[in-house]
Structure 1
């Protein structure tokens, strides 16, 4: 664990962090006020016609992002710690990592 992360780690209820200190999972008690949550993790932020960057299943290890326009939302829950799963107009399926402004 990184030095200085102890207090954040205990606040989040033993949530694992990546090398940048970002939360990979949302603690149930903090899921609506999690300061590490990204906008691509919330279904309310994603809609058809929106330009986004997603990570495809085969690109998860490399982290390569694919840009496109959302056709369908595939995740039913209101939040997902790894990003909302979408189908792009090109037919590619992946999890939203960024919303292109």
Structure 2
């Protein structure tokens, strides 16, 4: 799952995001989704989310579904 579809993202998911300041380098930041900020059903650069620590960025990868033990 690449984070481009809003239907795949929900609060509680562990994801890798790219922060605005890291867009040029592509550095990923891992965290837990708190809020979904993108309203459209799909976004080519990833759905924008706010993590539980307050950081905001676009989802690049879904690491683990909510409650998953992978």
* TM-score (norm: length of structure 1): 0.62
Matches within 5 A, 1:68-79: 68-79=31-42
1:46 matches 2:9:
yes
**CA-atom RMSD in angstroms:** 0.9
Would you say the 8 A contact 1:52–1:98 is kept in 2? yes
1:57 matches 2:5:
no
Aligned length: 64
- 1 or 2, which has the higher strand percentage? 2
Would you say the 8 A contact 1:83–1:95 is kept in 2? yes
Would you say the 8 A contact 1:39–1:45 is kept in 2? no
Structure possessing the higher relative contact order (Cα contacts under 8 Å, 6 or more residues apart): 2
Runs of 4+ in structure 1 over 3 Å off: none
The 2-side partners of 1:40 and 1:50 are apart by 11
The 1-side partners of 2:32 and 2:52 are apart by 6
- C-alpha distance after superposition, 1:22-65 (max 9, x if no partner): xxxxxxxxxxxxxxxx5300000000000000000000000000
* Aligned equivalent of 1:97, options 42, 45, 60: 60
Could you list the runs of 5+ residues in structure 2 that have no partner in the other structure? Answer: 65-70
